[in-house]
Amino acid sequence: MKLDLRNGYNNVRIKDGNQWKAAFKTNKGLFEPTVMFFRLSNSLATFQAFINDILSDFIDEGWCVVYMDDILLFSKDLAEHQEWTEQLMRRLKKHNLFLKPEKCEFEVTEVVFLGMVICPGYIAMDPVKLTGIADWEPPQTVKEVRAFLGFGNFYRKFIGRYAHLTRPLNDLLQKNQKFDWTIQCQIAFDLLKAKFLSEPILVMPDASKPFVIEADTSKWATGAVLKQKGTDGEWHPCSYLSKSLSPTERNYEIYD
């Protein structure tokens, strides 16, 4: 189940006497808000702490995840799900927090949350975010390279050896580096697009079953994959991890 809170930041009142700190100029003079709004320097952290405090026991019990105004509830069976839904609704009502019905999804087995499609047993990339990948043209500027890598970094845990694959593109971001789209850059760009379009999935880890970690290091990057055996007897990835090595780290022996 996914819930979306109505009014977001506006649910947090500004302490009396502090309204002037958030004042802004209008054509009719200064406006002093009585509730928190978007783009204050501490709005994000304050609101996250606010909602975490209200739902802290549910979060600690492990059946509720909260990111800003998005709330995710998950359970093993319908009866448990309905019981927790009622508890959650009562808690929100107690604190005068309301929902946007058109953005809520109840009693579903698949949900899109923070750019991920969460299904029974696995997670996948949001296909909506992948729609433009096939037509993404090769970058012509450093800014366009950053945009492509920004998208890629969001989903990097789905791609093995990501840091190694992106090295030619990351090199273009170095200070005082002349922009030169080489064959290596094009190969890396095309390979990354192909990997995203293959729509890889990651299995949900089961703490009651054994894991396997496979690690590898090259001159430029290090990486690892966490795997778990499925019901088909095959080992499937739970998550990939990779990191580019700094010039100092490249001098280390691999076993260091």
Q: What tens digit of pLDDT does each residue of 126-149 get? A: 998 888 888 899 999 999 999 999
Distance CA 75, CA 63 (A): 7
Encode pLDDT of 27-77 as tens digits: 989 999 999 988 888 899 999 999 999 999 999 999 999 999 999 999 988
Specify whether the backbone of 107 is left (phi greater than 0), alpha (psi in -120 to 50) or beta. Answer: left
The answer to whether position 34 is within a domain reads: yes
CATH number at residue 175: 3.30.70.270
pLDDT above 90: residue 203: yes
Split at pLDDT 50, 70, 90, the class of 256 is: low
Residues 144 and 96 in one domain: no
Q: Which residue blocks in 62-133 are alpha helix, DSSP H?
A: 78-94, 127-130
85: helix, coil or strand?
helix
Q: Which of 81, 108, 135 is the last residue of a domain?
A: 108
**How many domains does the chain contain in total?**
2
Residues 163 and 241 in one domain: yes
Encode pLDDT of 227-251 as tens digits: 999 888 899 999 999 998 888 888 7
Residues of the domain holding 177: 127-251
| Structural contact between residues 148 and 170, judged by C-beta atoms closer than 8 angstroms | no
Residues 88 and 142 in one domain: no
Encode pLDDT of 206-216 as tens digits: 888 899 999 98
pTM: 0.79
pLDDT above 90: residue 96: yes
pLDDT above 70: residue 123: yes
The answer to whether position 117 is within a domain reads: no
β-strand partners of 202: 123
- Can you read off the two tokens belonging to residue 190? 């095309």
pLDDT the model gives residue 175: 84
Residues 147 and 54 in one domain: no
Residues 90 and 43 in one domain: yes
Residues 13 and 102 in one domain: yes
Split at pLDDT 50, 70, 90, the class of 93 is: very high
The answer to whether position 77 is within a domain reads: yes
Return the higher-pLDDT residue of 176 and 16: 16
The answer to whether position 121 is within a domain reads: no
Phi, psi (degrees; rounded to nearest 5) at 196: -65, -40
Q: Which of 57, 77, 108 is the last residue of a domain?
A: 108
The answer to whether position 208 is within a domain reads: yes
pLDDT above 70: residue 255: no
Residues 141 and 172 in one domain: yes
230 burial level (CB within 10 Å; 0-12, 13-18, 19+): middle
- Can you read off the two tokens belonging to residue 8? 């977001």
Residues 161 and 241 in one domain: yes
The answer to whether position 118 is within a domain reads: no
| Structural contact between residues 186 and 172, judged by C-beta atoms closer than 8 angstroms | no
Question: CA torsion, points 176, 179, 185, 189, in degrees to nearest 10?
Answer: 110
